[in-house]
Amino acid sequence: MRLVLRSKIHKATVTDANLNYIGSITIDQELMDKAGLWPGEKVLVVDNTNGARLDTYVISGEKGSGTICMNGAAAHLIKPGDEIIIMGFELSDKTIKPKNILVDKENKFVRFL
């Protein structure tokens, strides 16, 4: 078994940060559906703006809102306006084709990569 990339939201813009939350990343449900991410799923978040990398879990945000909110301690590392990549992985013994999506500056779906 290998841990392989299954989902990616590429070039998302962080819209909010909530330090007083217990932890996670809130993602627009529409983007979650397009990328195949689930609520509670562990994801790797990479900040293209400052180089920070962290693991957290997904919380569903309002569909169509464009919300990408860093919650809890992650809000110290990744700030509103930062460009990020959100990646989900899967253990598999077979090659899989990941669902990679590109979004614009307002976190609206542009196309599959």
- The reply to whether 24 belongs to the active site is yes
Instruction: Single out the catalytic residue among 24, 60, 65, 92.
Output: 24
Instruction: Single out the catalytic residue among 7, 21, 57, 65.
Output: 57
Number of Cβ within 10 Å of residue 102's Cβ equals 14
- The reply to whether 57 belongs to the active site is yes
Positions annotated as catalytic residues are: 24, 57
